[in-house]
A = this chain, B = another copy of it.
Amino acid sequence: MRVTIADVAREAGVSKTTVSRVLNTKADVDAGTAARVREVIDTLGYVPSSGAVGLARGRSRTVAMLTPPLTWPWMGEVLQGVVDTVEAAGYGLLLFTCNRGAESVDHFTGQVSARAFDGLLVIEPENTLDTITAMHRRGLPVVLIDDRGHHPEFPSVATTNRAGGASAARHLLTAGRTRPLLVTGPAAFGCVRERTEGFTGVLPTGLVVEGEFTEASGRHAVEQALAAGMSFDSVFAHNDLIAAGALRALRDAGRRVPEDIAVVGFDDIPMARHTAPPLTTVRQPMRQMGETAAGLLLARLAGEPIGDEPVVLPTELVVRGSAPGG
């Protein structure tokens, strides 16, 4: 039915070995022979079976990615960066989310053991970092994409959380704001500590509320702060969802943004340009993080030595209506 290397060999009057040599452009093949083989390959429309090649070579030319829920607002950018890079290298990308508890973790580890892929890209594996580390120790190439401030023993890509926090503070300071309210993510995350330190290093404040990375959390935090009679002229939110919640709470309370209170977020998710007013935020280069991580993994698979030092990408302040320039 389907055309195999044997068909090509027969048709071209050579051995399978020679066809294989042509396929993999090894030296030491007569130019005429090679041309003839290539012609047969074309007319027959022959494409080597990836399964058979993988078995014979012991590598699948496929990498896997393990992600948090794909509905997170910045996942699309990261994923696109990864897919583009992986595709361009001629690799396939296998996607796992482990979204369904223990059963799906088993499915995933099974695929690892089954050698279904050559390397692994991981994004914020909240509960599986130990498992991943163990896999890495057993020889699976792994690269982590992380905005949570983990510090694994394998290569990773991160952003300048501290500098990002500082840039938000400088921006507010320049605009004349001196009494900021901080609404952070969970204190357990390294990125939360870094963003806070970067910010307070420039613009110290006693008004710090620990929240979660959700819109509801941001709304709640600001409602509470207002109810408690706290006096603040700006909000620095640890991500854009928190900031969106803050915007909503302020609007509901009749505070004007940015006249009464300026708001700065973190991430620059697609929604940030559609809030009212559009959100000033510290941009994380999500697509570039995906590209960089995929590039590292592919380099590692190609045998190039890559260090274990995290690659740190710069954040960038994006100024919009919620906190205009000073």
Residues of A at under 8 Å CB distance from B? 2, 45, 47-55, 60, 62, 69-73, 75-77, 79-80, 83-84, 87-88, 90, 92-97, 99-100, 103-104, 107, 110-111, 113-116, 215, 244, 247-248, 251, 270-271, 273-276
Contact = CB atoms under 8 A, between A and B. Distances in A.
A274 B244 contact: yes
Contacts of A276: 247-248, 251, 275-276
Contacts of A88: 100, 103-104
Contact of A71 (B51, B77, B95): B77
B60 A70 contact: no
Nearest to A245: B274
Given A70-B76, A80-B97, A55 B51 contact: yes
A74 to B, nearest CB: 10
17 contacts: A45-B113, A49-B55, A51-B116, A55-B55, A62-B94, A70-B75, A70-B79, A71-B80, A84-B99, A87-B99, A88-B100, A92-B111, A92-B116, A215-B273, A247-B276, A251-B276, A270-B271
Nearest to A72: B76
A238 to B, nearest CB: 17
Given A49-B114, A52-B55, A77-B71, A107 B84 contact: no
A54 B94 CA distance: 16
A72 B75 CA distance: 11
Nearest to A273: B215
Given A73-B270, A76-B75, A49 B115 contact: yes
Contacts of A96: 83, 87, 93
A95 B95 contact: yes
